Amino acid sequence: MLFKREGIPEEDELVLCTVTKVQFHSVFCDLDEYKNQSGMIHISEVSPGRIRNIRDYVKEGKKVVCLILKISKERGHIDLSLRRVNEAQRRRKLDAIKQEQKAEKIIESLAKEQKKTLEDLYKVVSKPILKEYDMVHLAFNDVVETNLKLDSLGLDKKLADKLTKVIKDKIKPKEVLIAGEFKLSSYDENGVEVIRTALQNAEKVDEKVNIAYEGGGRYMLKVTAKDYKKAESIMEKAKNEVLNYMEEKDGEAVFERIEK
């Protein structure tokens, strides 16, 4: 990964590290996101409880997400903790790193097209972006989500336009998914048609509405949207279309949200 931060990290910051040396009571790591910065994890900060063999938890070359505990600028020491990082924090950090690596792959594809080295083009692209954003991929996400103009950050317009095209080809807008289940029945002689019409009415609410038969009179309703507020609004309208039509036709309808 080419991404590197200047200076030193801050206390309570989460950092991606590479284990470089494992001793009986200490683990030494390079901080992947910072230039020429390293830190130490004391055995008491590797894992809660008694540790019989520290190598059961860490090995040279292993990537770990650590919390910055303490920084001594005078001594140049950075104390790290592995045990104080919970699983959700670890996943979020690794996801951010994965997205940053994807951003570098996007720059690499453009570098090949322009017959330039990745390192050279990365410097040109990242320098103005990192003045405004914490990581390059955050700007790329804004290109997709908010139509950010990269030349507004200081990139050459021709380069910005070419990069924007690649970004929009490689990164798709984020969507959320919510779901619920209908239980429908009708004693009308055209009961099948009543249910079909009710569901078709719901699907007409928005193209992001999807309904699938689950068996036994159950139908799965799925809604995708850019955010939860929009998804909930669409689901409410789709649900009401079904419930109201079924009531009008003296059918029975129950809707239940499915929570993840």
Query: What is 14-85's CATH number?
Result: 2.40.50.140
- Taking residue 192's Cβ as centre, other Cβ atoms within 10 Å add up to 10
List the structure tokens of 155.
């990139």
The whole-angstrom separation of Cα 28 and Cα 58 is 10
User: Cα–Cα distances in Å, from 39 out to 92, 218, 229?
Assistant: 21, 56, 43
Instruction: Identify the DSSP state of 5.
Output: B
All structural domains of the chain with their residue ranges: 14-85, 88-170, 176-258
> Which tens digits make up the pLDDT trace of 95-106?
999 999 999 999
Q: What angle do CA 206, 164, 140 make, to 5 degrees?
A: 75
Res 259: pLDDT: 79
CA distance linking residue 62 with residue 46, whole number of Å: 13
Q: Note the pLDDT tens digit of each residue in 60-72.
A: 999 999 999 999 8
| DSSP-based three-state secondary structure for 238 | helix
Distance CA 258, CA 235 (A): 12
Question: For every one of its 260 residues, what pLDDT tens digit does the chain have, with 9 covering 90 and above?
Answer: 899 998 899 999 999 999 999 999 999 999 999 999 999 999 999 999 899 999 999 999 999 999 999 998 777 799 999 999 999 999 999 999 999 999 999 999 999 999 999 999 999 999 999 999 999 999 999 999 899 999 999 999 999 999 999 999 999 888 889 999 999 999 999 999 999 999 999 999 999 999 999 999 999 999 999 889 999 999 999 999 999 999 999 999 999 999 76
Q: In one letter, which amino acid is 96?
A: A
The CATH number of domain 88-170, selected from 1.10.150, 3.30.70, 2.60.40, 3.90.350: 1.10.150
| Domain 176-258, second-level architecture | 2-Layer Sandwich (3.30)
Ranges assigned E (strand) in the chain: 14-22, 26-31, 38-42, 63-72, 77-81, 176-185, 209-215, 218-225, 252-258
Beta-carbon count within 10 A of 253 CB: 20
Of 70, 90, 50, which Cα lies nearest the Cα of 9? 70
- pLDDT at position 260 is 62
Q: Are 220 and 181 in contact (CB under 8 A)?
A: yes
Helix axes 228-248, 191-203, angle to 10 degrees: 150
Neighbours of 88 (CB within 10 A): 8
Query: CA 122: distance to chain centroid?
Result: 22
pTM of the model: 0.71
pLDDT of residue 173: 85
